[in-house]
Structure 1
Amino acid sequence: MIDFHCHLDLYPDPVAVADEIERRRVGVLSVTTTPAAWAGTVRLAQGRPSIRTALGFHPELAGSRHRELDLFDRHLPETRFVGEVGLDGSPQYLSSWESQVLVFDHVLKACEQAGDKVLSVHSRRAASQVLDRLDRHPALNKVAMHWFTGTKAELRRAVERGCWFSVGPAMLLGARGRSLVSEIPSDRLVLETDGPFAQKDRRSLRPWDVTAVVDDLADLWGTTRQGAAQVVRANEVALLAL
Protein backbone atom coordinates (compact mmCIF):
# COMPACT_ATOMS: atom_id res chain seq x y z
CA MET A 1 0.00 0.00 0.00
CA ILE A 2 1.06 3.59 -0.64
CA ASP A 3 0.40 6.61 1.56
CA PHE A 4 -0.05 9.27 -1.13
CA HIS A 5 0.00 12.24 1.27
CA CYS A 6 2.14 12.34 4.38
CA HIS A 7 4.18 15.17 5.96
CA LEU A 8 7.14 12.99 6.91
CA ASP A 9 9.40 15.91 7.81
CA LEU A 10 6.91 17.26 10.36
CA TYR A 11 6.77 14.24 12.67
CA PRO A 12 8.59 14.79 15.98
CA ASP A 13 10.88 11.88 15.07
CA PRO A 14 11.00 11.83 11.23
CA VAL A 15 14.09 9.61 10.97
CA ALA A 16 12.51 6.93 13.17
CA VAL A 17 9.30 7.09 11.12
CA ALA A 18 11.29 6.85 7.88
CA ASP A 19 13.14 3.79 9.18
CA GLU A 20 9.84 2.15 10.17
CA ILE A 21 8.42 2.88 6.71
CA GLU A 22 11.24 0.87 5.21
CA ARG A 23 10.90 -1.92 7.75
CA ARG A 24 7.18 -2.27 7.01
CA ARG A 25 7.68 -1.78 3.24
CA VAL A 26 5.01 0.89 2.98
CA GLY A 27 5.17 3.24 0.02
CA VAL A 28 5.07 6.93 0.97
CA LEU A 29 4.68 10.18 -0.93
CA SER A 30 6.36 12.62 1.44
CA VAL A 31 4.81 16.02 0.70
CA THR A 32 6.38 19.34 1.65
CA THR A 33 4.80 22.67 2.61
CA THR A 34 7.35 25.10 1.14
CA PRO A 35 10.16 24.91 -1.41
CA ALA A 36 12.60 25.76 1.39
CA ALA A 37 11.68 22.45 3.08
CA TRP A 38 12.61 20.44 -0.02
CA ALA A 39 16.30 19.81 0.64
CA GLY A 40 15.87 18.59 4.20
CA THR A 41 12.90 16.39 3.34
CA VAL A 42 14.73 14.79 0.41
CA ARG A 43 17.49 13.74 2.80
CA LEU A 44 14.92 11.68 4.75
CA ALA A 45 14.32 9.61 1.61
CA GLN A 46 17.98 8.94 0.84
CA GLY A 47 18.72 5.23 1.07
CA ARG A 48 15.03 4.52 1.60
CA PRO A 49 13.52 3.44 -1.74
CA SER A 50 9.98 3.22 -0.35
CA ILE A 51 9.83 7.01 0.04
CA ARG A 52 9.34 9.58 -2.72
CA THR A 53 9.42 13.31 -2.00
CA ALA A 54 7.01 15.86 -3.43
CA LEU A 55 7.84 19.53 -3.94
CA GLY A 56 5.15 21.61 -2.28
CA PHE A 57 3.83 25.10 -1.68
CA HIS A 58 1.00 24.91 0.85
CA PRO A 59 -1.75 27.53 0.38
CA GLU A 60 -1.71 28.34 4.09
CA LEU A 61 1.86 29.59 3.67
CA ALA A 62 1.53 31.27 0.29
CA GLY A 63 1.01 34.71 1.80
CA SER A 64 4.25 34.70 3.77
CA ARG A 65 6.41 32.54 1.47
CA HIS A 66 5.41 33.53 -2.09
CA ARG A 67 8.94 34.79 -2.70
CA GLU A 68 10.05 31.14 -2.79
CA LEU A 69 8.57 30.62 -6.27
CA ASP A 70 12.04 30.88 -7.81
CA LEU A 71 13.16 28.12 -5.46
CA PHE A 72 10.16 26.03 -6.53
CA ASP A 73 11.21 26.41 -10.17
CA ARG A 74 14.78 25.46 -9.33
CA HIS A 75 13.78 22.19 -7.62
CA LEU A 76 10.92 21.15 -9.93
CA PRO A 77 13.16 19.20 -12.37
CA GLU A 78 14.38 17.07 -9.45
CA THR A 79 11.06 15.27 -8.83
CA ARG A 80 8.04 13.83 -10.56
CA PHE A 81 5.82 14.64 -7.58
CA VAL A 82 4.32 17.98 -6.55
CA GLY A 83 2.43 18.62 -3.32
CA GLU A 84 1.01 19.89 -1.17
CA VAL A 85 -0.29 22.68 -3.40
CA GLY A 86 -3.70 24.26 -3.96
CA LEU A 87 -6.05 26.85 -2.48
CA ASP A 88 -7.69 27.28 0.93
CA GLY A 89 -10.86 29.34 1.31
CA SER A 90 -11.11 29.06 5.09
CA PRO A 91 -11.85 32.43 6.76
CA GLN A 92 -8.45 32.63 8.45
CA TYR A 93 -6.66 32.38 5.08
CA LEU A 94 -8.80 34.66 2.93
CA SER A 95 -6.45 37.59 3.57
CA SER A 96 -3.80 35.71 1.57
CA TRP A 97 -6.14 34.69 -1.25
CA GLU A 98 -4.39 36.76 -3.94
CA SER A 99 -1.02 35.26 -2.98
CA GLN A 100 -2.55 31.77 -2.94
CA VAL A 101 -3.89 32.22 -6.47
CA LEU A 102 -0.59 33.67 -7.67
CA VAL A 103 1.35 30.72 -6.28
CA PHE A 104 -1.10 28.02 -7.42
CA ASP A 105 -1.34 29.42 -10.96
CA HIS A 106 2.45 29.54 -11.16
CA VAL A 107 2.75 25.95 -9.91
CA LEU A 108 0.18 24.64 -12.39
CA LYS A 109 1.78 26.41 -15.32
CA ALA A 110 5.24 25.18 -14.37
CA CYS A 111 4.01 21.60 -13.94
CA GLU A 112 2.20 21.63 -17.28
CA GLN A 113 5.29 22.93 -19.05
CA ALA A 114 7.53 20.37 -17.34
CA GLY A 115 5.17 17.46 -18.07
CA ASP A 116 4.67 14.12 -16.29
CA LYS A 117 4.01 15.48 -12.82
CA VAL A 118 1.80 13.83 -10.18
CA LEU A 119 0.07 16.47 -8.04
CA SER A 120 -1.42 16.26 -4.54
CA VAL A 121 -3.90 19.14 -4.32
CA HIS A 122 -5.45 20.89 -1.32
CA SER A 123 -8.93 22.36 -1.90
CA ARG A 124 -10.52 23.04 1.49
CA ARG A 125 -13.45 25.44 1.05
CA ALA A 126 -12.14 26.17 -2.44
CA ALA A 127 -12.95 23.12 -4.55
CA SER A 128 -14.67 25.04 -7.35
CA GLN A 129 -11.87 27.61 -7.55
CA VAL A 130 -9.26 24.84 -7.63
CA LEU A 131 -11.12 23.05 -10.42
CA ASP A 132 -11.51 26.31 -12.37
CA ARG A 133 -7.74 26.67 -12.37
CA LEU A 134 -7.06 23.03 -13.15
CA ASP A 135 -9.37 23.33 -16.16
CA ARG A 136 -6.97 25.88 -17.62
CA HIS A 137 -4.28 23.19 -17.71
CA PRO A 138 -5.85 20.13 -19.36
CA ALA A 139 -2.47 18.44 -19.84
CA LEU A 140 -2.27 17.92 -16.07
CA ASN A 141 -3.89 14.47 -15.93
CA LYS A 142 -2.32 13.10 -12.75
CA VAL A 143 -4.06 15.17 -10.08
CA ALA A 144 -5.00 13.62 -6.73
CA MET A 145 -7.43 15.67 -4.65
CA HIS A 146 -6.15 15.39 -1.09
CA TRP A 147 -8.81 14.88 1.65
CA PHE A 148 -11.58 16.25 -0.57
CA THR A 149 -14.31 18.07 1.40
CA GLY A 150 -16.26 19.82 -1.34
CA THR A 151 -19.88 19.26 -2.28
CA LYS A 152 -21.06 16.20 -4.17
CA ALA A 153 -21.58 18.40 -7.24
CA GLU A 154 -17.96 19.54 -6.99
CA LEU A 155 -16.87 15.95 -6.53
CA ARG A 156 -18.70 14.93 -9.70
CA ARG A 157 -17.05 17.81 -11.54
CA ALA A 158 -13.62 16.64 -10.34
CA VAL A 159 -14.40 13.09 -11.45
CA GLU A 160 -15.46 14.33 -14.89
CA ARG A 161 -12.18 16.22 -15.14
CA GLY A 162 -10.29 12.98 -14.47
CA CYS A 163 -9.09 13.73 -10.95
CA TRP A 164 -8.08 11.09 -8.45
CA PHE A 165 -8.83 11.23 -4.72
CA SER A 166 -6.60 10.31 -1.78
CA VAL A 167 -8.62 9.12 1.21
CA GLY A 168 -7.41 8.55 4.75
CA PRO A 169 -8.70 7.12 8.04
CA ALA A 170 -9.61 10.57 9.42
CA MET A 171 -11.79 11.34 6.39
CA LEU A 172 -13.88 8.25 7.12
CA LEU A 173 -14.58 9.04 10.78
CA GLY A 174 -17.68 11.13 10.08
CA ALA A 175 -20.89 10.46 8.19
CA ARG A 176 -20.29 13.28 5.70
CA GLY A 177 -16.83 12.02 4.84
CA ARG A 178 -18.07 8.48 4.36
CA SER A 179 -20.90 9.77 2.18
CA LEU A 180 -18.44 11.64 -0.04
CA VAL A 181 -16.11 8.65 -0.28
CA SER A 182 -19.03 6.46 -1.32
CA GLU A 183 -19.50 8.77 -4.33
CA ILE A 184 -15.89 8.46 -5.52
CA PRO A 185 -15.54 5.94 -8.35
CA SER A 186 -13.68 2.95 -6.96
CA ASP A 187 -11.13 3.12 -9.78
CA ARG A 188 -10.16 6.71 -8.85
CA LEU A 189 -9.31 6.23 -5.20
CA VAL A 190 -5.91 5.93 -3.51
CA LEU A 191 -4.92 6.14 0.14
CA GLU A 192 -3.35 8.77 2.40
CA THR A 193 -2.86 9.54 6.09
CA ASP A 194 -2.03 13.29 6.14
CA GLY A 195 0.07 12.43 9.17
CA PRO A 196 1.09 13.80 11.54
CA PHE A 197 -1.75 16.36 11.26
CA ALA A 198 -4.61 13.90 10.85
CA GLN A 199 -5.46 11.86 13.91
CA LYS A 200 -7.51 8.87 14.91
CA ASP A 201 -8.24 7.98 18.54
CA ARG A 202 -6.28 11.11 19.54
CA ARG A 203 -3.10 9.76 17.95
CA SER A 204 -1.31 11.15 14.92
CA LEU A 205 -1.65 8.83 11.96
CA ARG A 206 1.50 7.24 10.61
CA PRO A 207 2.07 6.05 7.04
CA TRP A 208 1.39 2.39 7.79
CA ASP A 209 -2.07 3.35 9.12
CA VAL A 210 -3.31 3.60 5.52
CA THR A 211 -4.17 -0.09 5.70
CA ALA A 212 -6.99 0.77 8.13
CA VAL A 213 -8.86 2.42 5.27
CA VAL A 214 -9.21 -0.84 3.39
CA ASP A 215 -11.73 -2.27 5.86
CA ASP A 216 -13.90 0.84 5.54
CA LEU A 217 -13.70 0.70 1.76
CA ALA A 218 -14.69 -2.95 1.75
CA ASP A 219 -17.77 -2.02 3.77
CA LEU A 220 -18.67 0.91 1.49
CA TRP A 221 -18.12 -1.10 -1.68
CA GLY A 222 -19.83 -4.25 -0.44
CA THR A 223 -16.79 -6.43 -0.99
CA THR A 224 -14.16 -8.30 1.00
CA ARG A 225 -11.04 -6.72 2.47
CA GLN A 226 -8.98 -8.62 -0.08
CA GLY A 227 -11.16 -7.35 -2.91
CA ALA A 228 -10.87 -3.74 -1.73
CA ALA A 229 -7.10 -4.08 -1.35
CA GLN A 230 -6.82 -5.40 -4.91
CA VAL A 231 -8.74 -2.40 -6.23
CA VAL A 232 -6.54 0.05 -4.34
CA ARG A 233 -3.32 -1.60 -5.52
CA ALA A 234 -4.54 -1.52 -9.13
CA ASN A 235 -5.33 2.18 -8.72
CA GLU A 236 -1.85 2.89 -7.35
CA VAL A 237 -0.29 1.23 -10.37
CA ALA A 238 -2.63 3.05 -12.77
CA LEU A 239 -1.97 6.51 -11.30
CA LEU A 240 1.79 6.11 -11.26
CA ALA A 241 1.85 4.58 -14.74
CA LEU A 242 -0.07 7.42 -16.40
Structure 2
Amino acid sequence: MALIDFHCHLDLYPNPHDVAREVARRGVYVLSVTTTPSAFLGTLALAGSEGRIRTALGLHPEIAVAREGELPLFEKLLPQTDYVGEVGLDGSRPHRDTLDRQGGILSAILGFCAQAGGKTISLHSRGATKLLLDVLESEPRAGTTVLHWFSGTEREVRRASEMGCWFSVGRPMLTSERGRNNVAAMPLDRILPETDGPFGKISGRSSYPWEAMSVVDELDELLGRSTSEIGSVLVDNFRRISTITKDRVKIR
Protein backbone atom coordinates (compact mmCIF):
# COMPACT_ATOMS: atom_id res chain seq x y z
CA MET A 1 0.00 0.00 0.00
CA ALA A 2 1.36 3.42 -1.00
CA LEU A 3 2.30 5.77 1.86
CA ILE A 4 0.60 9.16 1.57
CA ASP A 5 0.56 12.28 3.77
CA PHE A 6 -1.58 15.03 2.26
CA HIS A 7 -0.84 17.73 4.86
CA CYS A 8 2.51 18.01 6.60
CA HIS A 9 4.70 20.95 7.65
CA LEU A 10 7.95 19.38 6.50
CA ASP A 11 9.96 22.56 7.06
CA LEU A 12 8.86 22.91 10.70
CA TYR A 13 10.30 19.67 12.07
CA PRO A 14 13.41 20.31 14.20
CA ASN A 15 15.38 18.23 11.67
CA PRO A 16 13.62 18.84 8.34
CA HIS A 17 16.46 17.60 6.11
CA ASP A 18 16.59 14.31 8.02
CA VAL A 19 12.82 13.90 7.74
CA ALA A 20 12.92 14.69 4.01
CA ARG A 21 15.63 12.07 3.48
CA GLU A 22 13.59 9.48 5.39
CA VAL A 23 10.51 10.38 3.34
CA ALA A 24 12.53 9.72 0.19
CA ARG A 25 13.95 6.46 1.55
CA ARG A 26 10.49 5.16 2.45
CA GLY A 27 8.89 6.40 -0.77
CA VAL A 28 6.20 8.52 0.91
CA TYR A 29 4.02 10.85 -1.18
CA VAL A 30 3.85 14.13 0.76
CA LEU A 31 2.03 17.42 0.37
CA SER A 32 4.46 19.74 2.16
CA VAL A 33 2.50 22.84 3.16
CA THR A 34 4.02 26.20 4.08
CA THR A 35 2.90 29.00 6.39
CA THR A 36 4.25 32.05 4.50
CA PRO A 37 5.18 32.80 0.90
CA SER A 38 8.71 33.70 2.05
CA ALA A 39 9.14 30.12 3.32
CA PHE A 40 8.14 28.54 0.02
CA LEU A 41 11.45 28.41 -1.85
CA GLY A 42 13.40 27.07 1.13
CA THR A 43 10.75 24.40 1.69
CA LEU A 44 10.71 23.57 -2.01
CA ALA A 45 14.43 22.82 -1.75
CA LEU A 46 13.64 20.09 0.82
CA ALA A 47 11.74 18.16 -1.85
CA GLY A 48 14.93 17.39 -3.74
CA SER A 49 14.74 15.44 -6.98
CA GLU A 50 13.11 12.23 -5.70
CA GLY A 51 9.76 13.33 -7.06
CA ARG A 52 7.19 12.35 -4.44
CA ILE A 53 7.16 15.54 -2.35
CA ARG A 54 4.93 18.37 -3.55
CA THR A 55 5.38 21.81 -1.98
CA ALA A 56 2.31 23.98 -1.45
CA LEU A 57 2.36 27.78 -1.30
CA GLY A 58 0.75 29.00 1.91
CA LEU A 59 -0.20 31.92 4.10
CA HIS A 60 -1.45 30.47 7.39
CA PRO A 61 -4.47 32.30 8.84
CA GLU A 62 -2.90 32.62 12.29
CA ILE A 63 -0.25 34.92 10.82
CA ALA A 64 -1.97 36.08 7.63
CA VAL A 65 -2.81 39.55 8.93
CA ALA A 66 0.76 40.16 10.12
CA ARG A 67 2.10 38.90 6.77
CA GLU A 68 -0.50 40.48 4.51
CA GLY A 69 2.33 42.38 2.83
CA GLU A 70 3.48 39.04 1.35
CA LEU A 71 0.39 38.73 -0.85
CA PRO A 72 2.24 40.15 -3.90
CA LEU A 73 4.97 37.54 -3.32
CA PHE A 74 2.27 34.87 -3.09
CA GLU A 75 0.90 35.92 -6.48
CA LYS A 76 4.41 35.97 -7.97
CA LEU A 77 5.29 32.47 -6.71
CA LEU A 78 1.96 30.85 -7.54
CA PRO A 79 2.95 29.70 -11.07
CA GLN A 80 5.66 27.50 -9.50
CA THR A 81 3.22 25.06 -7.89
CA ASP A 82 -0.11 23.33 -8.49
CA TYR A 83 -0.80 23.26 -4.74
CA VAL A 84 -1.80 25.97 -2.24
CA GLY A 85 -1.74 25.54 1.54
CA GLU A 86 -1.92 26.10 4.32
CA VAL A 87 -4.44 28.89 3.90
CA GLY A 88 -7.87 29.53 5.37
CA LEU A 89 -9.50 31.11 8.42
CA ASP A 90 -8.92 30.82 12.17
CA GLY A 91 -11.66 31.89 14.55
CA SER A 92 -10.04 30.67 17.76
CA ARG A 93 -9.88 33.11 20.67
CA PRO A 94 -6.49 34.72 19.82
CA HIS A 95 -7.47 35.36 16.19
CA ARG A 96 -11.24 35.85 16.01
CA ASP A 97 -10.95 39.65 16.12
CA THR A 98 -9.13 39.59 12.77
CA LEU A 99 -11.58 37.30 10.95
CA ASP A 100 -12.78 40.06 8.62
CA ARG A 101 -9.23 40.80 7.50
CA GLN A 102 -8.45 37.09 7.28
CA GLY A 103 -11.48 36.71 5.02
CA GLY A 104 -10.24 39.45 2.72
CA ILE A 105 -6.82 37.81 2.48
CA LEU A 106 -8.34 34.40 1.76
CA SER A 107 -10.60 35.90 -0.89
CA ALA A 108 -7.54 37.46 -2.55
CA ILE A 109 -5.74 34.09 -2.51
CA LEU A 110 -8.75 32.30 -3.99
CA GLY A 111 -8.90 34.99 -6.66
CA PHE A 112 -5.24 34.39 -7.55
CA CYS A 113 -5.98 30.66 -7.81
CA ALA A 114 -8.99 31.27 -10.04
CA GLN A 115 -6.96 33.54 -12.33
CA ALA A 116 -4.31 30.80 -12.55
CA GLY A 117 -6.89 28.27 -13.76
CA GLY A 118 -7.47 26.60 -10.39
CA LYS A 119 -5.22 24.97 -7.81
CA THR A 120 -5.57 22.18 -5.26
CA ILE A 121 -5.95 24.00 -1.94
CA SER A 122 -5.41 22.68 1.61
CA LEU A 123 -7.52 24.74 4.02
CA HIS A 124 -7.52 25.49 7.75
CA SER A 125 -10.91 26.29 9.30
CA ARG A 126 -10.64 26.11 13.10
CA GLY A 127 -13.44 28.07 14.76
CA ALA A 128 -14.63 29.49 11.45
CA THR A 129 -16.07 26.60 9.46
CA LYS A 130 -19.30 28.29 8.32
CA LEU A 131 -17.50 31.47 7.29
CA LEU A 132 -14.87 29.47 5.43
CA LEU A 133 -17.51 27.60 3.44
CA ASP A 134 -19.21 30.92 2.64
CA VAL A 135 -15.93 32.32 1.30
CA LEU A 136 -15.25 29.18 -0.75
CA GLU A 137 -18.75 29.30 -2.19
CA SER A 138 -18.13 32.85 -3.37
CA GLU A 139 -15.18 31.77 -5.59
CA PRO A 140 -16.00 28.37 -7.12
CA ARG A 141 -13.29 28.72 -9.80
CA ALA A 142 -10.45 28.63 -7.25
CA GLY A 143 -9.91 24.90 -7.74
CA THR A 144 -10.16 21.71 -5.69
CA THR A 145 -10.57 22.38 -1.98
CA VAL A 146 -9.32 19.97 0.69
CA LEU A 147 -10.51 20.72 4.23
CA HIS A 148 -7.67 19.87 6.60
CA TRP A 149 -8.65 18.62 10.09
CA PHE A 150 -12.22 19.88 9.55
CA SER A 151 -13.90 20.38 12.93
CA GLY A 152 -17.27 21.86 12.06
CA THR A 153 -20.69 20.39 12.72
CA GLU A 154 -22.05 17.34 10.94
CA ARG A 155 -24.35 19.69 9.02
CA GLU A 156 -21.30 21.66 7.85
CA VAL A 157 -19.62 18.41 6.82
CA ARG A 158 -22.66 17.65 4.67
CA ARG A 159 -22.66 21.17 3.24
CA ALA A 160 -18.95 20.91 2.38
CA SER A 161 -19.54 17.53 0.78
CA GLU A 162 -22.37 18.94 -1.34
CA MET A 163 -20.01 21.75 -2.42
CA GLY A 164 -17.55 19.11 -3.68
CA CYS A 165 -14.93 19.62 -0.98
CA TRP A 166 -12.42 16.91 -0.08
CA PHE A 167 -11.16 16.21 3.46
CA SER A 168 -7.76 15.28 4.90
CA VAL A 169 -7.96 13.23 8.09
CA GLY A 170 -5.35 12.15 10.64
CA ARG A 171 -5.42 9.95 13.73
CA PRO A 172 -5.60 12.86 16.23
CA MET A 173 -8.87 13.95 14.62
CA LEU A 174 -10.41 10.63 15.64
CA THR A 175 -9.71 10.94 19.36
CA SER A 176 -12.94 12.89 20.05
CA GLU A 177 -16.55 11.84 19.55
CA ARG A 178 -17.21 14.93 17.45
CA GLY A 179 -14.24 14.19 15.22
CA ARG A 180 -15.31 10.59 14.74
CA ASN A 181 -18.89 11.62 13.94
CA ASN A 182 -17.63 14.16 11.41
CA VAL A 183 -15.37 11.64 9.67
CA ALA A 184 -18.19 9.10 9.56
CA ALA A 185 -20.29 11.71 7.72
CA MET A 186 -17.60 12.41 5.10
CA PRO A 187 -17.75 10.68 1.70
CA LEU A 188 -15.04 8.00 1.84
CA ASP A 189 -14.16 8.61 -1.79
CA ARG A 190 -13.03 12.15 -0.90
CA ILE A 191 -10.92 11.42 2.21
CA LEU A 192 -7.12 11.69 2.16
CA PRO A 193 -4.67 10.78 4.97
CA GLU A 194 -2.67 13.46 6.79
CA THR A 195 -0.42 13.89 9.82
CA ASP A 196 -0.25 17.69 10.23
CA GLY A 197 3.22 16.88 11.51
CA PRO A 198 5.03 18.03 13.51
CA PHE A 199 1.90 19.46 15.19
CA GLY A 200 -0.24 16.33 14.88
CA LYS A 201 0.66 13.95 17.70
CA ILE A 202 0.69 10.18 18.12
CA SER A 203 1.13 8.96 21.71
CA GLY A 204 2.24 12.46 22.73
CA ARG A 205 5.01 12.91 20.17
CA SER A 206 5.12 14.44 16.70
CA SER A 207 3.87 12.20 13.93
CA TYR A 208 5.87 11.67 10.73
CA PRO A 209 4.73 11.48 7.10
CA TRP A 210 5.27 7.72 6.87
CA GLU A 211 2.72 7.28 9.69
CA ALA A 212 -0.20 9.03 8.02
CA MET A 213 -1.66 5.83 6.57
CA SER A 214 -2.04 4.44 10.10
CA VAL A 215 -5.35 6.31 10.09
CA VAL A 216 -6.65 3.31 8.13
CA ASP A 217 -6.56 1.25 11.34
CA GLU A 218 -8.91 3.76 12.99
CA LEU A 219 -11.22 4.09 10.00
CA ASP A 220 -11.88 0.37 9.67
CA GLU A 221 -13.53 0.26 13.10
CA LEU A 222 -15.37 3.56 12.57
CA LEU A 223 -16.72 2.70 9.13
CA GLY A 224 -17.10 -1.04 9.52
CA ARG A 225 -14.99 -1.84 6.47
CA SER A 226 -11.75 -3.78 6.18
CA THR A 227 -8.37 -2.07 6.42
CA SER A 228 -7.42 -3.39 2.98
CA GLU A 229 -10.55 -1.90 1.42
CA ILE A 230 -10.12 1.48 3.14
CA GLY A 231 -6.41 1.59 2.28
CA SER A 232 -7.19 0.89 -1.39
CA VAL A 233 -9.83 3.64 -1.43
CA LEU A 234 -7.45 6.23 0.09
CA VAL A 235 -4.75 5.39 -2.44
CA ASP A 236 -7.29 5.62 -5.27
CA ASN A 237 -8.46 8.98 -3.88
CA PHE A 238 -4.88 10.23 -4.04
CA ARG A 239 -4.61 9.06 -7.65
CA ARG A 240 -7.81 10.88 -8.53
CA ILE A 241 -6.91 14.16 -6.87
CA SER A 242 -3.46 14.02 -8.48
CA THR A 243 -5.17 13.61 -11.87
CA ILE A 244 -7.57 16.48 -11.13
CA THR A 245 -4.54 18.60 -10.20
CA LYS A 246 -2.86 17.51 -13.47
CA ASP A 247 0.05 16.29 -11.36
CA ARG A 248 2.26 13.83 -13.23
CA VAL A 249 3.35 12.00 -10.07
CA LYS A 250 3.76 8.27 -10.69
CA ILE A 251 2.03 6.36 -7.92
CA ARG A 252 3.54 2.96 -7.28
TM-score higher than 0.5 here? yes
Q: How does 1:164-175 map to 2 (within 5 A)?
A: 164-175=166-177
Q: How does 1:83-98 map to 2 (within 5 A)?
A: 83-98=85-100
For residues 202 and 137 of structure 1, the distance between their equivalents in structure 2, rounded to whole angstroms, comes to 38
Matching residue of 2:248: none
Shift of 1:96: 2.3
Matching residue of 1:104: 106
2:122 aligned with 1:124, yes or no?
A: no
Q: Structure 2 residue aligned with 1:134, among 133, 136, 142?
A: 136
Q: Say if 2:84 and 2:119, in contact at 8 Å, map to a contact too.
A: yes
Distance 1:141 1:117, change over 3 A: closer
For residues 113 and 139 of structure 2, the distance between their equivalents in structure 1, rounded to whole angstroms, comes to 9
For residues 97 and 24 of structure 1, the distance between their equivalents in structure 2, rounded to whole angstroms, comes to 40
Q: Say if 1:26 and 1:208, in contact at 8 Å, map to a contact too.
A: yes
Q: Structure 2 residue aligned with 1:145, among 135, 144, 147?
A: 147
Shift of 1:217: 1.3
Name whichever of 156-165 and 137-146 sits farther off.
Answer: 137-146
Deviations 1:44-96 (A, max 9, x none): 01223111100000000012110000000010000000000000111110232
Q: Structure 1 residue aligned with 2:115, among 113, 116, 119?
A: 113
For residues 37 and 46 of structure 1, the distance between their equivalents in structure 2, rounded to whole angstroms, comes to 16
TM-score, normalised via structure 1 length: 0.97
Q: Say if 1:4 and 1:166, in contact at 8 Å, map to a contact too.
A: yes
Q: Say if 2:121 and 2:143, in contact at 8 Å, map to a contact too.
A: no
Indicate the SS of the match to 1:46: coil
Matching residue of 2:196: 194
Q: Say if 1:141 and 1:163, in contact at 8 Å, map to a contact too.
A: no
CA RMSD of superposed structures (Å): 1.0
For residues 116 and 153 of structure 1, the distance between their equivalents in structure 2, rounded to whole angstroms, comes to 27
Matching residue of 1:27: 29
Q: How does 1:1-12 map to 2 (within 5 A)?
A: 1-12=3-14
What percentage of residue pairs aligned between the two structures are identical?
49
Shift of 1:138: 1.6
Structure 1 counterpart of 2:33, one-letter code: V
Structure 1 spans left out of the alignment, 5+ residues: none
Q: Structure 2 residue aligned with 1:211, among 213, 221, 227?
A: 213
Q: Say if 1:8 and 1:41, in contact at 8 Å, map to a contact too.
A: yes
Q: How does 1:35-114 map to 2 (within 5 A)?
A: 35-114=37-116
Deviations 1:105-130 (A, max 9, x none): 11000001101310000111111111
Figure out how many residues of one structure are paired with residues of the other and give that number: 242
For residues 104 and 142 of structure 2, the distance between their equivalents in structure 1, rounded to whole angstroms, comes to 18
TM-score, normalised via structure 2 length: 0.93
Deviations 1:138-195 (A, max 9, x none): 2234110000000111111100000000000111122221111111111110110000
Indicate the SS of the match to 2:64: helix
